[in-house]
Amino acid sequence: MLNTSERPNPVLYRQFQDVDAFGQAFHAEGLSLTQLESGRFEGSVTKVQLEDLQLVRMITSCSLYTLGPKPPGQVPFSISLAQPQGTIVTHKQALPPQALFGFDPVREISLITPENFHMGIILVPLARLQWYLHDVERDDVDAQFFRQNAIQIEDQRLGNLRDYLNQIFYLAVKNPDFLARSYPLILGDLLPLLVNCFSAEVCPRLCTHPFRRASLVQEAEAYMLAHLDEPITLEAICKAVKTSKSALSYGFQDIFGLSPMAYLKTARLNGVRRALKASDPTQATVLGIANRYGFWHMGHFSRDYRQMFGESPSETLKGPL
């Protein structure tokens, strides 16, 4: 067995200016991140490995829409590490700032986070969590509990968990050697502190409901993504999903903070960016890729692209120098 002084440093800290690389730092494959706001992306990921537990802090400058699978065999418990500057939306449902969310291990990620968001994630192996819950006789934390995917935590319990995680992430960046020596103590504290947040006495049921137009927005979103290369109009989208302009506009504004057509342009710009980064600059052209995503006026496209991502499309295609 390793002595404490011989244990490898369990901390990884990285900064990013690319949203896709940022997503890959948390989860190796399968995630799709869409930047919803204009401006160059700035983000950081801090990982702390504690035997088979992992703590992750993700800080992002822009509002993001994240879709994709969760790490297999892991239960991710997520909280906001600071007061969010906007609404957190998961599976088309708005969450209160006091929420613990994302812990249904069989449901994929569907998450919209506001700008300047600080999120903490505790990744617990499902087998270890089940063993611990059995050991402390918490039979109430069952399959029905996990299907909720989000609960509202009593303020004091949330504050205790948030302060503890913030202290760990502070040490991870400022004094990782001290943190490495302290991790046996952290391992003893972490699961009790987490499970205490959903104490049976508190009965933490999330008293919110999906947005009224959530299913409508989901249907319209699927239609848009299937026609990214076509010059579709708001009227065409409304006709396809059998709704009015006002209903669709209210729905998209509630969930994404954007109008339907602004969301469509944002999705197309993000698609262009991913295609540019994946292309060989000696073979592909900005014009050809932009046309594939329904952009035909290159002057408008270049302006919108630079405004969205803080660089020209040709710079993205060339890649980092």
Model pLDDT for residues 300-314, shown as the tens digit of each residue: 999 999 999 999 999
For position 140, what pLDDT does the model report? 86
Q: How many CA atoms within 13 Å lie on the side-chain side of 145?
A: 17
Contact status, residue 36 vs residue 256, Cβ threshold 8 Å = yes
Contact status, residue 238 vs residue 273, Cβ threshold 8 Å = no
Please give the share of the chain, as a percent, with pLDDT higher than 70: 93
Residue 8 has pLDDT above 60, yes or no: no
Domain with CATH 1.10.10.60 in the chain: 214-318
Nearest to 266 by CA among 256, 277, 279: 256
For position 205, what pLDDT does the model report? 55
Residue 233 has pLDDT above 90, yes or no: yes
For position 316, what pLDDT does the model report? 94
Superfamily, domain 214-318: Homeodomain-like (1.10.10.60)
For position 189, what pLDDT does the model report? 93
Nearest to 313 by CA among 286, 289, 292: 286
Residue 71 has pLDDT above 50, yes or no: yes
For position 321, what pLDDT does the model report? 58
Q: How far is CA 226 from the centre of its chain?
A: 23
pLDDT digits 0-9 by tens, 170-213: 999 899 888 888 888 998 999 999 999 887 665 555 555 568 88
For position 212, what pLDDT does the model report? 82
Give dist(CA 96, CA 251) in Å, integer: 19
For position 27, what pLDDT does the model report? 66
Strands (E), 114-229: 117-125, 150-152
Mean per-residue pLDDT over the chain, rounded: 89
